[in-house]
Chains A and B, each alone.
Chain A
Amino acid sequence: MLAFLLTLMLLLGIVIVLAYAERKVAAFMQDRMGPTEAGPYGSLQAVLDVLKLLQKEDIVPAAADKKLFKLAPILIFAAVFAGFAVIPFAPSIVPAGIGIGVFYLLAIISLDVVGLLMAGWGSNNKYAMLGAMRSVAQIVSYEIPAGLAILSAVMICQSLDFQEISYQQGALMNQFPGMEYDMNWLFGIRELGINTTTIGGITTWNIFRAPMLLVAFVIYFIASLAESNRAPFDIPEAESELVAGFHVEYSGFRFAVLFLAEYSMMVLVSLVAVVLFLGSWNTPLPNIGPVSLAYWTTGTVGELSGILWGVFWLLSKTFVLLFLQLQVRWTYPRLRVDQLMHLCWKVLTPIALGVVLLAGLWRLLMI
Chain B
Amino acid sequence: MERTAVKHKTGFWDVVKSLGSGLSLTWSHFLKAGNRRTPEYVSDENYFKQKDGLVTLKYPYEAIPVPDNGRYRLHNEIDDCIVCDLCAKVCPVNCITIESVKATEDIGTTSDGTKKRLYAPTFDIDMAKCCYCGLCTTVCPTDCLTMTPVYDFSEVDIKNMVYHFTDLTPEQAEEKKQMFAKQQEEMAAAKAAALAARKSNK
Which residues from B are CB-within-8-Å of A25?
30
B25 touching A28 by the CB < 8 A rule? no
A31 touching B56 by the CB < 8 A rule? yes
> Which of A31, A33, A36 touches B29 (beta carbons < 8 Å)?
A31
**B53 on the A face (CB < 8 A):** yes
Spot the interface stretch: A105-113, A156-164, A324-332.
Answer: A324-332
A29 touching B22 by the CB < 8 A rule? no
Contacts A327-B26, A330-B26, A331-B26; A31 near B58 (Cβ below 8 A) = no
Interface centre among B30, B53, B58, by most chain A C-beta atoms within 10 angstroms, is B30
B22 touching A331 by the CB < 8 A rule? yes
> Which of B19, B29, B53 touches A29 (beta carbons < 8 Å)?
B29
CA distance A328 to B26 in the complex (A): 9
Query: How far, in Å, is A145 (CB) from chain B's closest CB?
Result: 16
**B23 on the A face (CB < 8 A):** yes
For A37, the closest partner residue in chain B by CB is B58
**A32 on the B face (CB < 8 A):** yes
**B55 on the A face (CB < 8 A):** yes
A31 touching B25 by the CB < 8 A rule? no
For B33, the closest partner residue in chain A by CB is A28
Which residues from B are CB-within-8-Å of A31?
29, 33, 53-56
CA distance A179 to B27 in the complex (A): 42
For A330, the closest partner residue in chain B by CB is B26
B23 touching A331 by the CB < 8 A rule? yes
CA distance A286 to B18 in the complex (A): 34
Query: Which residues of A327-359 have CB atoms within 8 Å of chain B's CB atoms?
Result: 327-328, 330-332
Query: How far, in Å, is B105 (CB) from chain A's closest CB?
Result: 55
A29 touching B55 by the CB < 8 A rule? no
**A30 on the B face (CB < 8 A):** yes
CA distance A27 to B36 in the complex (A): 13
Interface centre among B27, B33, B53, B56, by most chain A C-beta atoms within 10 angstroms, is B33
B54 touching A28 by the CB < 8 A rule? yes
CA distance A240 to B89 in the complex (A): 50
Size of interface on A: residues with Cβ below 8 Å to B: 14
CA distance A328 to B58 in the complex (A): 27
> Which of A32, A330, A331 touches B54 (beta carbons < 8 Å)?
A32
Size of interface on B: residues with Cβ below 8 Å to A: 15
Q: Number of contacts between A and B (CB, 8 Å)? A: 36
For A332, the closest partner residue in chain B by CB is B22
> Which of B19, B29, B36 touches A332 (beta carbons < 8 Å)?
B19
CA distance A27 to B30 in the complex (A): 9
Interface string of B46-73 (1 = CB under 8 A from A): 0000000111101000000000000000
For B12, the closest partner residue in chain A by CB is A347
A28 touching B56 by the CB < 8 A rule? no
Query: Which residues of B3-18 have CB atoms within 8 Å of chain A's CB atoms?
Result: none
Query: How far, in Å, is B142 (CB) from chain A's closest CB?
Result: 44
Query: How far, in Å, is B185 (CB) from chain A's closest CB?
Result: 63
Which residues from B are CB-within-8-Å of A32?
54-56
A29 touching B26 by the CB < 8 A rule? yes
For A36, the closest partner residue in chain B by CB is B58
Query: How far, in Å, is B123 (CB) from chain A's closest CB?
Result: 39
Interface string of A11-36 (1 = CB under 8 A from B): 00000000000000101111111001
B29 touching A28 by the CB < 8 A rule? yes
CA distance A33 to B22 in the complex (A): 21
Interface string of A310-329 (1 = CB under 8 A from B): 00000000000000000110
Query: How far, in Å, is A217 (CB) from chain B's closest CB?
Result: 15
Query: How far, in Å, is B51 (CB) from chain A's closest CB?
Result: 10
CA distance A328 to B24 in the complex (A): 11
Interface string of A140-181 (1 = CB under 8 A from B): 000000000000000000000000000000000000000000
CA distance A33 to B36 in the complex (A): 9
Query: How far, in Å, is B195 (CB) from chain A's closest CB?
Result: 76
Interface centre among A31, A33, A36, by most chain B C-beta atoms within 10 angstroms, is A31
CA distance A20 to B12 in the complex (A): 35
CA distance A25 to B36 in the complex (A): 15
CA distance A357 to B37 in the complex (A): 54
CA distance A332 to B20 in the complex (A): 11
> Which of A33, A327, A328 touches B30 (beta carbons < 8 Å)?
A327
For A29, the closest partner residue in chain B by CB is B26
For A328, the closest partner residue in chain B by CB is B23
B26 touching A33 by the CB < 8 A rule? no
Contacts A28-B29, A28-B30; A327 near B23 (Cβ below 8 A) = yes
For B37, the closest partner residue in chain A by CB is A31
Query: How far, in Å, is A1 (CB) from chain B's closest CB?
Result: 41
CA distance A315 to B19 in the complex (A): 27
Which residues from B are CB-within-8-Å of A28?
29-30, 33, 54
CA distance A327 to B19 in the complex (A): 12
15 contacts between A and B (CB under 8 A): A27-B54, A28-B29, A28-B30, A29-B26, A29-B29, A31-B33, A31-B54, A32-B55, A33-B56, A327-B26, A327-B27, A327-B30, A330-B26, A331-B25, A332-B19
Given contacts A31-B56, A36-B58, A331-B22, 11 further A-B contacts (CB under 8 A): A25-B30, A28-B30, A28-B33, A28-B54, A30-B29, A31-B55, A32-B56, A33-B36, A327-B23, A327-B27, A332-B19
Closest 3 CB pairs of A and B: A28-B33, A29-B26, A331-B26
